[in-house]
Amino acid sequence: MLRGLYTAASGLVTQQRRHDTITTNISNIQTPGYKAQNTMVRSFPEMLLHLIGDEPASRANSTIGTLHNGVYAEELVHQFMQGDLEQTGRPTDFALVSHMTEVDGTAYAFDASGQAVTEDGDTLYQPQAFFAIEAGDGTQRYTRNGQFQLTNEGMLVHASGAPVLNRNGESVVLGADAAGIAYTMDRVAVSEGGLLVDKATGQAINDENGDPLALGIAQINNPNELVLEGNGLYRLDSEDAEVAFVADTSQVQVLQGYSERSNVDAARSMVEMMEATRAYEANQKMIQFYDRSLEKTVSEIGRV
């Protein structure tokens, strides 16, 4: 009986975590660049029961069957599918359109979940593109929220205040034109490759080193290694993770005056929330049933 109680309790906790994840997704429907999360549910290992003990030889060590021990929420998995684009008209808003299909120079056919299987049977994940941001400790962070701002010093920053990086891994700082007039985003156009150019002359804007200034678009080969920190920022904890700045407009495009919306499906999220609620209620009733059974065992049978 207690095994059934533990199974129902594990299901109760798992459905609550599913409900919390779905609630987080729904609350971020209007968050630019937000990527939906899914709770991965796994079952505990099955137990194989055998009949042993002081039994006749014909029944000794005979198999009874398997016993299930419930489920648990293993991890949160982000869904990095492309979100819809919304035209804002603001020159400091940028959206990434990422459709990468190449890993180490080889093109693969990725399915809707962003996975592909190699000839050797290995699973690959579709690379994704992110804006590169500099954190306070000097390390890089990655985001799909391109609603940036320009400071009085001409630095392009994320909504959190963190500097946006260029292809050289340095802060994007708009200088002045040949006449010494400081650039503003109204005078700057950004190409699909992320290159910043002067609208009036069509010439590329250079950084302090004299190199063409371009937004740093980071390619993450395995986006499942990213860890969400908040404010739409991700970090990479894996030491083996490879990050490179890309400028291939056939794989990634930068659109100025656009913002990428959340990829949360509101209708599907509501259905999943109702499923989690009903499953939670079912496990709750099972726990109440076991509670009444134990109460009856103690109060009635225990007196015999």
> Can you give the pLDDT at residue 57?
52
Which residue type does 229 have? Answer: E
> Can you give the pLDDT at residue 54?
55
Tokens linked to 296: 């009856």
Neighbours of 297 (CB within 10 A): 11
Tokens linked to 169: 């891994």
> Can you give the pLDDT at residue 176?
85
Residues forming a β-bridge with 165: 171
Sorted by sequence, the CB contacts under 8 Å of residue 287 that are 6+ apart come out as 5, 8, 9, 12
pLDDT digits (tens, 9 = 90+) for 22-55: 999 999 999 999 999 999 888 877 776 666 665 5
pLDDT in tens, the chain (304 residues): 577 788 888 888 999 999 999 999 999 999 999 999 999 888 877 776 666 665 555 555 566 677 677 887 878 888 888 999 999 999 999 999 988 888 777 888 888 778 888 888 888 888 899 999 998 888 899 999 999 999 998 999 998 899 999 988 899 999 888 788 888 899 999 998 899 999 988 889 988 888 889 999 998 888 888 888 888 899 988 766 667 787 677 789 999 999 999 999 999 999 999 999 999 999 899 888 888 888 877 777 656 5
Q: Which long-range contacts (CB under 8 A, 24 or more apart) does 277-281 make?
A: 277/15, 277/19, 279/11, 279/15, 280/12, 280/15, 280/16, 280/19
Tokens linked to 136: 């306070």
First to last CA, the chain: 20
Question: What pTM value is reported for the model?
Answer: 0.81
DSSP string across 214-240: BB-EEEES-GGGEEEEETTEEEE--TT
> Can you give the pLDDT at residue 108?
85
